[in-house]
Structure 1
Amino acid sequence: MPIAYFLECTKDIKDLSFSFSNLLGAVYRKGNICFTGDGDSVISPVGNRITKFDLRKNKSETFPIEARLNLKCVALSPDGLTAILIDHAGDALLCSLTSKTVLHHLMLKGRVHAVKYSPDGKYIAVVKGRVVQVYLAPRSGRHNFNPLQLHRTYYGAYDDNTCVDWTSDSRFFAVGSKDMMTRVFAVGYTDCFLIQTFTGHKDRVVAVFFEENSLNFYSMSRRCDLVAWECNTNIEDVKDIDAAPKKNISTFIQPMETDDKPDEENMEQAQTEQSQKNKNFKITKRKFWFYNNSEVGMTAENTCADYHKKNRILVTGFSSGVFQIHEMPDFNLIHTLSISDQKIAAVTFNPSGDWIAFGCSGLGQLLVWEWQSECYVLKQQGHYNSMSCLDFSPDGQHIATGAEDGKVKLWNTSSGFCFVTFTEHTAGVTGVKFKHTGKVVVSSSLDGTVRAFDLNRYRNFRTFTSPRQAQFSSLAMDASGEIICASAQDTFEVFVWSMQTGRLLEVLSGHEGPVASITFSPTDAVLASVSWDKTLKIWDIFQRKGSRETLTLTTDGLAVSFRPDGKQLAVASLDFQVTFWDIKSASQVGSIEGRRDLSSGRRDTDFITAKRSATAKSFTTLCYSADGECILAAGRAQYVCIYHVKEQLLLKKFEITCNLSLDAMKEYLNRRKMTDFGSKALIDQETEEERGRAISLPGVKSGEMSSRTFKPEVNVPCVRFSPTGRQWAATTTEGLFLFSLDSSLTFDPYDLTLNITPELVIETLAKEDWSLALILSHRLNEKKFIQQVVESIPPDQIDVVVLSLSEVYVEKMLQFAASQLTDSPHLEFYLQWMEKLLMLHGPNLKMQTSSSHQAMLTTLQKALPVENRAWAGSKRRERKRTLEKDEADEGIAEIGSDSEDEQKQDSDNESEMSDTIITPLYK
């Protein structure tokens, strides 16, 4: 197809520059957790990405940085500008936390167990196998082509190293190993880089910590014992090892140019000689403490620990889900608490030592505990299994998700946090729907129930069941929210209930196969259902019994979706076809062939190629855009396709993830893993960190229950557009992905000429020509200039400026004010702008019913939190009191005061506003 024809067909299509914005539903997977330098945010590894949880602003943000595999180690620089991300294969990414981009990629060629920056930020210690590699960290004053330059490689361990810690002056570091020994090394040039080897444990060393400004350190093993090592020399008395001559470097120190491993016999002999030569380090005291295993269970093991050097507080996590806090060096127990029944995989202190972050990989939990007041600062948990369905609230502010673990969770799209979880279902959830009021969520499940949840009291107030037990595979709700329908995949029927009474109204039968999907028309009481019997049925719920139309499909139907105006229907079938049907004429008006668009990979257990395997896959979910011009389609692949309905063209493909830890991601298998007996991925290994998978039974898709572990397959079960039209979400194996239109990253001016420049905007603003400066800033369409102009306008000039704006700039100003309500501290100032814009230009906006205006108003409603509505309520009461006072002064009969309900509502609004800090621009 020529490019000119494609551009001509798509010239009127809205902006499709959707980009990844956030990841919900997954808060922690594996690896260590880090606090930022200010202690207000937590960095958590989520699959092959990292998520930042801001504990002060109550927001979460997933960075658009992806590793090749799942992350295992994360380290933040002391200045908080850069971070090191290392995956399971040993590939390291040097990332910038300010620009959220990858600066450098380094292949370490081995499995990394720990990584840590030195306190001064000059070095990075990487624990890889039996060696420790120290790299020179990138700094502003040092300009090298390779930002991660190898400083030295340190040997000495007989087994894999597990942990590392630096001294306060960054000249020494200690390393714990699986060989039950701890070794202290010197970083600079000296005649003895291996200071001492310490023994005394009977199991692998889990953690090692130095005291502040001291060479004394603690070492802990997996067997729940702790050893305190004291040095008779102060760290200030040790000579400057960086100034020592280089000629005394030991012969087995590996230089920067080579990574050859020395002979083990010569290494052991050299270590003994160097230890005898050293006179500065001697062990003078040993203390052994054993944890009381009766408190945490006899089978509990020490899995992780962290030590706050300034406060001298030690926290220890166990495999039974219990953690203990001790005061050092006397080892006084502060308290012992249990946070889950799964092992604690990671624990860390914030810089001030007030908060402790815990990560549980078994349940995907992330907790932040304030140990002094004994309360939670953050408590989040994602779905245990893959998500299966989602739905947006009418205002687009909340998302309801259901998963195979039988839970229904509600997420806030602005903050990214889950604020309520319903656990009444006993089997996997297959469908969720919001009522048009946004106060009720309905969900269907394979346990044979449909439940309605009240979002005011957070309880299950209605349960719908069928006369005979059935597994519900799909859910639908009419536009009024009074009729609930659910399809059964085993009885081939559709059940209809009344929301108000909870009674079963009708059982729609006629399909001869499992009903795959059902949906209600947004405008009429028309229900559409598709089934594996190759039919599409259109039901009239109120006027007549039975199906109104029966349409024949070419193959089995898998998904169905109505256009927002209710005049068109889209059906996805097993042969990669997406057909469009006109409701009034019951005729097909178009079709899309998506066979080559949904690219799929080859699983490790497949005996056929990816090309042959793709013939058995198809689209399983559909969703129209807010204006009905485009449609989203996805299936069992890592891509989501967006098509233009009228022209039947593929506009764009979005890649959900590039994580190779998931199955069916590669088109071709790695031949290095192929043997004469098959792929190595089929071997069920028994290693502790990474295990393979056994050959699963035929038809098993979510993991074989008899195998020790399973490798999840990439899948997109559901996609939905937001009512605002500027965002869409997809439930995947990795979590809930959000894609939105981020116009701040691109320069998109409006009606720009050569005369309009940033200098002209500043000059016009200096002349106090407020209206012209505002119009010029909007034509330039740069957020920082618009914000500077708007916040420079005095509040008493808002009326004059708003009156001079045309309809085009009124819509742009409303969108800008709505975006500032969630970010700017000047809440009252922007609320005054919105009030004047709606009061003066509201009638003109009300007469226009275009999709862009509807999306803008929905975005505006989403941006208004409860505090803003409370401010509006207080303003209404203030105006009413002013009116009453004026009428009383003029001798008019006094108007009655507010009713009791209004007074109660206003008092509630005022109490909500008392917790909100509003920073005015002008005093």
Structure 2
Amino acid sequence: MVKLIHTLADHSDDVSCCAFSSSLLATCSLDKTIRLYSLSDFIELPHSPLKFHTYAVHCCCFSPSGHILASCSTDGTTVLWSAHSGQPLMVMEQPGGSPVRVCCYSPDPTYLASGAADGSVVLWNAQSYKLYRCGTVKDGSLVACAFSPEGNLLVTGSSSGDLTVWDDRMRFLHTEKAHDLGITCCAFSPQPLSGGEQGLQFYRLASCGQDYEIKLWVVSFTRVLGLELKYKSTLRGHCAPVLTCAFSHDGQMLVSGSVDKSVIVYDMGTHSVLHTLTQHTRYVTTCAFAPNTLLLATGSMDKTVNIWQFDLETPCQGSMNDQLKQLIEDWSEEDVSTWLRDQGLEDLIGIFQMNNIDGKELLHLTKESLAGDLKIESLGLRSKVLRSIEELRTREDSLSSGIPDEFICPITRELMKDPVIASG
């Protein structure tokens, strides 16, 4: 369950962005201001609103510590503020003075990225306030950016529909046409997918756009093997352009907001819709989950920010006993990931997802395919996977035949005739 616990209505124009720290909520607006609220009672802080920008404020974000707040504006600047005093610490001007549409902090608080309407993306040293690196996308405005959980990758999204991946020194790695009509937002899950023995790092990425869709991707990266951005699936819950998306702190939920005025919360285990929230009266422009708590903020062109509280129980896929009630060959890739986790094989989740291993593929894996196609080098690990798969095949035979497992011989897997139960 989720319930609306508070509505903030202090902005005088469209709300463009909202962001949480561990103790504060920041909101910004086309009214040129940023406002700060305490999470304990949602009372606005005495030094709020923050006023410096001369045009609309498009984005705001907290540093990892929560002590610094960054904001960016049509006026071509990115401003750093003290979250506790509201005093501006530094004004950083985008090269060329182009309107700055988006900004985000790296998990390493040293760096802050800002993207602008002219396609430029700047990586700032947020401690020395110096420009560290910069790059430019070929087409369109920069409207979205997100750092990977370890901070070694930066993904930017453009109005032309391209996702572009950079390393932590702003070296171009990859570009992908993601949304035909333009990207509006992108977000990494805070929890990386487990990697494999080769030291691969796997991340889940969501992107949304003007095409009404949310796309899910898996990103893998090593310095030796390079980067792979692989499309996984599409969520189509909205009936209008999707303007914003964000993951919960544990990666189990994804929230999105749309021109259709709705907010949809998805379960990332099943990709099903958990909640559809329709309290906003105009386009939903921004959404954000609080860190480590089940609070959600949504902002809209109706000039309000809604605060939502979730139940303590987070969504989960359920136990494997529940999943085994369906045929294993009908499992999704997410079902396979849950099974791996239950088997103590979570280190293989990223590899299985990158290779699109669903239930049908899982049942057909062999020692050759594990070593050759999936490149699992450890003989012991391959043997453990094969033993677990064999148990699944046995269970699948029982399920598909409709015969209870206790009537099947545990050795031959044939139907027992005149079985005898020995007394203990």
TM-score (norm 1): 0.30
1:59 counterpart SS class: coil
2:57 counterpart letter in structure 1: L
Q: Would you say 1:131 and 2:120 are equivalent positions?
A: yes
User: How far apart in 2 are the matches of 1:207 and 1:292?
Assistant: 16
Offset at residue 291 of structure 1 (A): 1.3
Higher RCO (C-alpha 8 Å, min separation 6) = 2
* Contact preservation (8 Å) 1:95, 1:101: yes
Match of 1:179 among 155, 160, 167: 160
Offset at residue 105 of structure 1 (A): 2.1
User: How far apart in 2 are the matches of 1:57 and 1:215?
Assistant: 35
Offset at residue 53 of structure 1 (A): 1.8
Offset at residue 197 of structure 1 (A): 1.2
Offset at residue 25 of structure 1 (A): 4.6
Match of 1:43 among 16, 20, 26: 26
Corresponding residue for residue 287 of structure 1:
232
Gaps of 5+ in 1: 1-22, 139-146, 240-277, 375-923
> Equivalent residues in 2 for 1:248-263 (5 A)?
none
Taking a change above 3 Å as real, the CA distance of residues 58 and 125 of structure 1, as seen in their structure-2 partners, is closer
User: How far apart in 2 are the matches of 1:320 and 1:163?
Assistant: 20
Taking a change above 3 Å as real, the CA distance of residues 373 and 339 of structure 1, as seen in their structure-2 partners, is farther
Residues 384-403 of structure 1 deviation map (CA, whole Å, 9 limit, x = unaligned): xxxxxxxxxxxxxxxxxxxx
* Contact preservation (8 Å) 2:9, 2:304: no
User: How far apart in 1 are the matches of 2:265 and 2:245?
Assistant: 10
User: How far apart in 2 are the matches of 1:309 and 1:58?
Assistant: 20
Residues 122-144 of structure 1 deviation map (CA, whole Å, 9 limit, x = unaligned): 11010112121100111xxxxxx
Offset at residue 353 of structure 1 (A): 4.6
Q: Would you say 1:226 and 2:206 are equivalent positions?
A: no
2:38 counterpart letter in structure 1: D
User: How far apart in 1 are the matches of 2:91 and 2:289?
Assistant: 29
Taking a change above 3 Å as real, the CA distance of residues 352 and 28 of structure 1, as seen in their structure-2 partners, is farther
Residues 494-528 of structure 1 deviation map (CA, whole Å, 9 limit, x = unaligned): xxxxxxxxxxxxxxxxxxxxxxxxxxxxxxxxxxx
> Equivalent residues in 2 for 1:457-496 (5 A)?
none
> Equivalent residues in 2 for 1:382-421 (5 A)?
none
* Contact preservation (8 Å) 1:208, 1:218: yes
Match of 2:304 among 344, 362, 365: 365
TM-score (norm 2): 0.63
When you count strand as a share of all residues, which structure comes out higher? 2
Match of 2:145 among 139, 159, 164: 164
Taking a change above 3 Å as real, the CA distance of residues 50 and 218 of structure 1, as seen in their structure-2 partners, is closer
Match of 2:185 among 207, 217, 220: 207
Match of 2:56 among 70, 79, 82: 70
* Contact preservation (8 Å) 2:255, 2:263: yes
Corresponding residue for residue 153 of structure 1:
134
Taking a change above 3 Å as real, the CA distance of residues 97 and 55 of structure 1, as seen in their structure-2 partners, is closer
* Contact preservation (8 Å) 1:225, 1:288: no
Residues 138-181 of structure 1 deviation map (CA, whole Å, 9 limit, x = unaligned): 1xxxxxxxx32111111233111210110111111111111211
Identity %: 17
User: How far apart in 1 are the matches of 2:25 and 2:90?
Assistant: 23
Tell me which structure has the larger Cα radius of gyration.
1
User: How far apart in 2 are the matches of 1:25 and 1:287?
Assistant: 40
Offset at residue 199 of structure 1 (A): 2.2
Corresponding residue for residue 871 of structure 1:
none
User: How far apart in 2 are the matches of 1:301 and 1:221?
Assistant: 6
> Equivalent residues in 2 for 1:792-807 (5 A)?
none
Offset at residue 218 of structure 1 (A): 2.5
User: How far apart in 2 are the matches of 1:87 and 1:209?
Assistant: 20
Corresponding residue for residue 80 of structure 2:
94
Corresponding residue for residue 346 of structure 1:
286
Corresponding residue for residue 589 of structure 1:
none
Offset at residue 64 of structure 1 (A): 5.3
* Contact preservation (8 Å) 2:160, 2:180: no
Corresponding residue for residue 32 of structure 1:
17
Residues 39-87 of structure 1 deviation map (CA, whole Å, 9 limit, x = unaligned): x431112523322222313421224543223322212111122222222
1:178 counterpart letter in structure 2: S
User: How far apart in 1 are the matches of 2:183 and 2:290?
Assistant: 23
Residues 832-852 of structure 1 deviation map (CA, whole Å, 9 limit, x = unaligned): xxxxxxxxxxxxxxxxxxxxx
User: How far apart in 2 are the matches of 1:53 and 1:288?
Assistant: 36
1:280 counterpart letter in structure 2: G
User: How far apart in 1 are the matches of 2:228 and 2:102?
Assistant: 27
1:34 counterpart letter in structure 2: A
User: How far apart in 2 are the matches of 1:113 and 1:77?
Assistant: 18
Taking a change above 3 Å as real, the CA distance of residues 336 and 67 of structure 1, as seen in their structure-2 partners, is same
Taking a change above 3 Å as real, the CA distance of residues 290 and 65 of structure 1, as seen in their structure-2 partners, is closer
Offset at residue 279 of structure 1 (A): 3.7
2:70 counterpart letter in structure 1: I
User: How far apart in 1 are the matches of 2:136 and 2:69?
Assistant: 25
Residues 766-787 of structure 1 deviation map (CA, whole Å, 9 limit, x = unaligned): xxxxxxxxxxxxxxxxxxxxxx
2:185 counterpart letter in structure 1: A
User: How far apart in 2 are the matches of 1:93 and 1:292?
Assistant: 36
* Contact preservation (8 Å) 2:213, 2:241: no
Q: Would you say 1:317 and 2:257 are equivalent positions?
A: yes
Offset at residue 311 of structure 1 (A): 3.2
Offset at residue 121 of structure 1 (A): 0.7
Taking a change above 3 Å as real, the CA distance of residues 27 and 314 of structure 1, as seen in their structure-2 partners, is farther
Offset at residue 118 of structure 1 (A): 0.4
* Contact preservation (8 Å) 2:58, 2:72: yes
